[in-house]
Structure 1
Amino acid sequence: MEEKEFELTVDELKKDKKILKQFEKNKSKAEDLLKDKDKMDKFLERLERKLSSVPKIGEYLSDIPIFISLVRSYISGEYRVVPMGSLIAVVSALIYFLSPVDVIPDIIPGMGLVDDAAVISLAYFLVHDDIEEYKLWRDKNKNQDRESN
């Protein structure tokens, strides 16, 4: 598989009306999930199972684990600094990734994850600063946990 398949710019993503429409539709689903800890936990478990079964496509889906970590930290109450709009964007992208109904079906070899990667990339672009702040917080807390043990 050539790397070129996944070279999508944010401008190209913004032009893809189907992907943007689906991303927008997922926002209300994301809001509902964020209100129900049990549903969110089950959703994240399903997401982790799917992630473990997809082929590695380099950096294009590599943001999913940090998205999952951010959401887990939020719903557990450990990290509440993230703006709700950013959290909704992240969960919307995760819903898209988990959904069996995509713009490009996941079962198409070599192409099925292109739209998923595009949506994850778009979400990362939208919430980049918040993700970076979360990473700093998480790393700092991991270091403090190690020092206290």
Structure 2
Amino acid sequence: MLFGKKKDKVHFNPGNRDDGSHEQEIDKDYVEEEVNKIEEDDVEVVLNNEENIDKKFSGNNTLSKYVELGRIMISMLKDVKNGNYKNIPWFTIATIVMALLYVLNPMDIVPDFIPGLGYIDDVAVLTMGVGWIESDLHRYLDWRMENDMGI
């Protein structure tokens, strides 16, 4: 196994986290199901499309924080793949890959070519995924700072 993790089906329970944000618009059961379908080959697809993912949000200043999130997540995947960072569950890897594959897909729930609306679902899926793995992202960033490695 490339990532050295056993792929177990994970059931995510968001608890009572209904903050009224737009992430509630995307069906969490659908996203959870998609996360559980992620395979190691999907990780390679994301890593091979790093530039395309970066370009997706780069042209829009209001989405700049999502460009940074995408870069951090891809950096995490690379460090895991290279064996530099090992403290990460498969669910986190799969969530990152699912979210970035969704962003990469131009024909998702709301097609990206629709002006003003095309990225709403991409941002919602990315935000939901980040919410699920936020503590792992913080641990990773702390690790990067401790090891004095730039992103």
Provide the residue aligned with 1:55 in structure 2. 60
Q: How many Å apart are 1:8 and its aligned residue?
A: 2.7
Equivalent position to 2:79, from 69, 73, 78:
73
Using structure 1 for the length normalisation, give the TM-score: 0.72
Query: Matched residues in 2 for 1:115 and 1:73: separation?
Result: 28
Provide the residue aligned with 2:102 in structure 1. 96
Q: How many Å apart are 1:69 and its aligned residue?
A: 1.2
Query: Matched residues in 2 for 1:118 and 1:40: separation?
Result: 19
Query: Matched residues in 1 for 2:98 and 2:29: separation?
Result: 11
When the two chains are superposed, the root-mean-square deviation of aligned CA atoms in Å is 2.7
Provide the residue aligned with 2:30 in structure 1. 21
Give 1:57's aligned amino acid. T
SS in 2 for 1:142: coil
Q: How many Å apart are 1:45 and its aligned residue?
A: 3.7
- Return 5+ residue gaps in structure 1 as ranges: 1-6
Structure 1 or 2: more helix by fraction:
1
Provide the residue aligned with 2:21 in structure 1. 8
Structure of greater relative contact order (alpha carbons < 8 Å, 6+ residues apart): 1
- Return 5+ residue gaps in structure 2 as ranges: 1-19
Change in Cα spacing, 1:137 to 1:74, as seen in structure 2 (3 Å) is same
Q: Aligned residues, how many?
A: 130
Mapped pair 1:107 → 2:117: no
Using structure 2 for the length normalisation, give the TM-score: 0.71
Dislocated runs of 4+, deviation >6 Å:
none
Change in Cα spacing, 1:113 to 1:72, as seen in structure 2 (3 Å) is same
Identity across the alignment (%): 26
Query: Matched residues in 1 for 2:89 and 2:100: separation?
Result: 17
Q: How many Å apart are 1:23 and its aligned residue?
A: 6.1
Equivalent position to 1:32, from 18, 31, 41:
41
* Range with greater deviation from structure 2 (97-106 or 61-70): 61-70
SS in 2 for 1:47: helix
Alpha carbons 2:110, 2:117 under 8 Å: kept:
yes
Alpha carbons 1:47, 1:94 under 8 Å: kept:
yes
Query: Matched residues in 1 for 2:32 and 2:117: separation?
Result: 19
Q: Deviations over 1:47-66 (max 9, x none)?
A: 234344x3122466242121
